[in-house]
């Protein structure tokens, strides 16, 4: 990698704004993007892994189904092994979409792997001066948290552009990023609640109520970001966590790392999503997924909910990273306050 190339102040022929003295003094001043509306233009980016051509067409269809116009560059279709182009390609695409005045929001095509590689090279000053809705999940956790940590911009942990846009998923997108309402209580997914697999059922493991800013995302990414300057504090926050394809012992290991290396134990509350394909093996010794969660987090004396409708699942809600929220386990409500609209 040519590090000098990353340090240039000119990318794509456009001058990037430098951080001002005010920016340095107030790095965490909350920034809110404008709510999206039908007719807006969405910039599609692939900040992590590449996307097959047929899935790309599905992403465009998903955007158009919401009434959006779509904009993308050739870079978002690149393949570089397990990455969607080089780090510079993916970084340029991210910067271009924030700079482009025609682009109203930025939607990540998928997660995969690669977002953490970009974090030291992102022009956070550019993002602070051009706040836009940015949405994605899985590996995009790294982008959302780093941008929030460095700029105060509220991003959205929600479906990737190629995700299955079920009626529940669409309802949550419209309520949270396409609405001017100031407060919203996220409903549970009826489809999930009726599934035979009880890991999809929203359950209260520790009762209580709490208020705080929402932060979190994919557990593997949270663990990978420990020790970096891009992971926000968990103290007094409502922390949401999900993962996919990890055995209970692996989830135990990552939760243990967070408990030992961060202030996760001082969170205001914990909201766990649906951990898809994370069941214990049928043979051998293992705690169950739920037993693992209870063992690691159930003794923290803070509200704990398991199976909330987000994660690598079709019926997923959208969670604003950095927004004030309230959790009430008695009524199983997660209430979003002062939704990020201008």
List residues with catalytic annotation.
138, 242, 312
Residue 313 DSSP label:
S
Could you tell me which of 187, 144, 116 has the C-alpha nearest to residue 33? 144
Could you tell me which of 101, 99, 112, 1 has the C-alpha nearest to residue 46? 112
> Could you give the CA distance from residue 295 to residue 299 in angstroms, rounded to a whole number?
7
> Could you give the CA distance from residue 321 to residue 240 in angstroms, rounded to a whole number?
10
Residue 31 DSSP label:
B
Residues in the chain: 342
Helix (H) or strand (E) holding 143: helix 141-151
Q: How far is CA 101 from CA 14, 29, 131, 151, in A?
A: 13, 23, 11, 19
Q: What is the residue-wise DSSP string for 271-291?
A: EE-B-BT-PPPSSS----HHH
Could you tell me which of 183, 211, 185 has the C-alpha nearest to residue 337? 183
Residue 75 and residue 91 in contact, taking contact as beta carbons nearer than 8 Å: no
Q: What is the residue-wise DSSP string for 210-263?
A: EEEEEEEEEHHHHHHTTTSTTSPP-TTSEEEEE-BS--HHHHHHHHHHHHHHSS
Q: Which residues contact 285 (CB under 8 A, 6 or more apart)?
A: none
């Amino acid at each position: 990698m040519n590090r000098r190339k990353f340090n240039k102040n000119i990318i794509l022929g456009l001058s990037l704004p430098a951080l001002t003295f005010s920016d340095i003094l107030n790095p965490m001043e909350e920034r809110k993007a404008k709510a999206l509306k039908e007719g807006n233009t969405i910039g599609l980016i692939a900040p992590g892994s590449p996307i097959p051509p047929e899935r790309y067409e599905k992403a465009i269809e998903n955007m158009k189904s919401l009434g959006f116009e779509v904009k993308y560059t050739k870079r978002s279709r690149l393949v570089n092994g397990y990455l969607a182009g080089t780090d510079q390609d993916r970084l340029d695409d991210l910067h271009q979409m924030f700079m482009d005045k025609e682009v109203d929001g930025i939607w990540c095509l998928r997660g995969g792997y690669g977002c953490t590689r970009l974090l030291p090279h992102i022009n956070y000053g550019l993002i602070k001066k051009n706040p836009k809705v940015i949405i994605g999940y899985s590996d995009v956790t790294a982008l959302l948290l780093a941008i929030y940590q460095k700029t105060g911009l509220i991003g959205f942990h929600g479906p990737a552009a190629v995700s299955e846009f079920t009626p529940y998923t669409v309802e949550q997108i419209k309520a949270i990023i396409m609405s001017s309402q100031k407060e919203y209580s996220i409903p549970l997914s009826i489809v999930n609640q009726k599934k035979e697999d009880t890991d999809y059922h929203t359950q209260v493991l520790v009762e209580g109520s709490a208020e705080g800013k929402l932060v979190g995302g994919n557990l593997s990414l949270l663990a990978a970001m420990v020790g970096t300057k891009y992971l926000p504090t968990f103290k007094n926050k409502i922390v949401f966590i999900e993962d996919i394809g990890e055995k209970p012992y692996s989830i135990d290991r990552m939760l243990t790392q967070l408990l030992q290396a961060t202030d996760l134990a001082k969170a205001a509350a914990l909201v766990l999503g649906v951990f898809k394909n994370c069941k214990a093996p049928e043979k051998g010794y293992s705690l169950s997924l739920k037993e693992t969660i209870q063992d690691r987090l159930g003794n923290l004396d803070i509200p704990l909910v398991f199976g909330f409708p987000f994660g690598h699942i079709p019926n997923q809600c959208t969670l604003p990273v950095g927004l004030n929220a309230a959790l009430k386990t008695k009524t199983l409500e997660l209430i979003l306050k002062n939704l990020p609209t201008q």
